[in-house]
Structure 1
């Protein structure tokens, strides 16, 4: 039998946590609370390494490939991600205060008073902080784009493989158990029903925001390219549906590429833009993280500083580059910013993870569908510059970007 997807496992974990939390004795619940404490500490330890291991090679790779158009595509993708975050911030600031009661879950921010405590804890201090990790990634990544040697770059690519293995083999498999422990503990504390019903409204709002975002993206792309935006969006729907099932931008690349070509994008441009944007364009994921974090802050009575939160959105847009092509990777990567910039506690980060993954596939579907709009824009702006002269065809029939030096540039992994 096929292994249940992450979404199904998360839903089952939430339901079991709510049901079992009603009658399991406190001693048993504290066992899971102890696991959550250990797992949460491990997340705090690994997140800076995730940032360095994933962002550094990603930035270094932005200096290669099709020259200036790689930078232009990255800038468009980053702009789209930031716009999505700012749009979600504006809408949520207008709507959420009318939906939620500010400070109604203030006890969630102080788990020692409202929730059960673990039997024991094991300190796992990170090698360095999140902001230090981001600075290291930026400095080393940019430096690698200026070096002609590939030795250090290959080392960070191997580090990326190790980090992605930890995410896929340890973090993602244990996330359902982590979410189960959170809802089990919340049920014992009498909080879960109000939280679940409250976030149901936020989920509907986020879904509406992602649909509005796609309409805006394709309206802009249609205005630039002179194409019918609704027809182009309809052409990309198979990619949207595929991402709903896989919850992975990387796994959806073949379908996104095919549909982008059907939407009128030249194959060389689509072959260049789609794999790149699958890694760096996460507008849908940013929309969800911004919306849910604002909801948690309102519910917990945390003061929302507009300047700090806008800074959080800009940093989130960069950190999203580190989100690997696995379900739930974006929220795991963003957890460090939630704690360092917004002051989230472990239960609050747990709520973010649970609600985010509950509709993870919709954010991923928004990401990959938006990639088609970016491909349309780059195709129009580049004219013929990216159509043939910057690509060579391999024996297998694949188009490979060629940098200024004239040597084919191949990625070291399956990101494109």
Structure 2
């Protein structure tokens, strides 16, 4: 089901881009305006939902991270978060070196100008959020951490159920409408004669980001090899079935059994692999962070937006936190990141739409980097734990047939 849903979404997004480009110069202005009106409504709805999404996903995620494995859960989560942040920093540094050169002459600031030829909606409906993004983050952390300190079954259940509500909103409302939203964006850009400059600009960005995910995998396994005193390329080669499976499924959940077997083949003890792999499928999104950071900075360079270091650094650290709770539905990571793109970087709905379209188009690349990197973390934790038994960790080891959380 996850594979089919993800595959269908990718096909729909690609179809939306192609149709938007093909029809943008053919359809009359009033038809384009209908879709632009929908985009305005959908964008406002996203702004309303985002703070609720943060509370509904991050709060129970923190609550659950505080249970069960104690010390080793904290160690694994710390390594995973550090890996995600380093991935973002690497993407930031590479972007600042590459994008000004590769994207020179590709200024598309006219997209941000309402008088540049873009069609405006018939009407808009304001949907102000109940509270801001930063307030949502603070609330989620305060409540989530507090829930790990005392036993409150009813409150735990409330936030667990609220997470299901948010997941339903994402999977049944937001994600199915994303292709239509992206179609409207490309339709409008083509109608205004701007789309080809965007496509031409993003092609080198996609190539560089893909190469960067491969480089970071080598870095991860080099560190793991030094810690475990083993050949990093031998371990990385053992993880290739997981990488290939993730490329095909674009789903961490569907890939968990293969990732687990690959990690054991790479030399990780079975009990450590059975603990670390499912956990990291939820909290370790280094590949996704590389993509989001790289694409965001490319858009900022093309739009001529300022990129001050404190703002980008704050965005990366907050993105690492948000990725922990990114839902395991198609497009979940970029939907979660949309809040930070708007609140921290000042992205417009058109810019967020470009991010969503580009991200989903090569979503499997980030997922493959995520799950393959999980093996490196398992190697490190295995070495630190000294191959302890199940009783030492106090873990419930998941069976391959059990449903697993995962991120897109």
* Gap regions ≥5 residues in structure 2: none
Out of 274, 277, 288, which is 1:274 matched to?
Answer: 277
Question: What do the CA deviations read for 1:117-161 (whole angstroms, capped 9, x no partner)?
Answer: 111111111111111110011100000111122221111111111
2:405 corresponds to: 415
2:321 maps to 1:318:
yes
Partner residue, 1:212:
215
* Distance in 2 separating the partners of 1:275 and 1:257: 8
User: After the TM superposition, which segments of 4 or more aligned residues of structure 1 sit over 3 Å from their partners?
Assistant: 111-114, 384-388, 391-394
| Distance in structure 2 (CA, Å) of the matches to 1:9 and 1:205 | 25
Residue number in structure 1 paired with 2:89: 86
1:259 counterpart = 2:262 = yes
Name the structure 2 match of 1:237.
240
Contact 1:73 1:378 in 2 (8 A): yes
Work out which of the residue numbers 98, 102, 115 in structure 1 matches 2:101: 98
Count of residue correspondences: 401
1:164-196: CA deviation from partner (whole Å, max 9, x where unpaired): 111111111111111111000000111100101
Partner of 1:302: 305
Q: Deviations over 1:210-262 (max 9, x none)?
A: 00000100111111112221111111111111211222222221211121111
The answer to whether 1:25 aligns with 2:15 is: no
2: CA distance, partners of 1:393 / 1:96: 46
278-287 or 2-11: which moved more? 2-11
**Residue of structure 2 equivalent to 1:190:** 193
- 1:372 paired to 2:375: yes
TM-score (norm 2): 0.94
TM-score (norm 1): 0.93
Contact conserved, 1:250 with 1:279, CA < 8 A, in 2? no
Q: CA RMSD in A?
A: 1.8
Which of 146, 167, 172 is matched with 2:170 structurally?
167
Distance 1:154 1:268 in 2: 29
Q: Where does residue 182 of structure 2 map in the other structure?
A: 179
Instruction: Judge conservation of contact 2:108–2:197 (CA < 8 Å) in 1.
Output: no
CA change 1:387–1:229 in 2 (3 A) is farther
Q: Does structure 1 residue 118 correspond to structure 2 residue 121?
A: yes
Unaligned runs of 5+ in 1: 400-410
1:61 aligns with 2:49: no
Structure 1 residue 390, shift from structure 2 partner: 2.6
Instruction: Tell me if structure 1 keeps the 8 A contact 2:66–2:148.
Output: yes
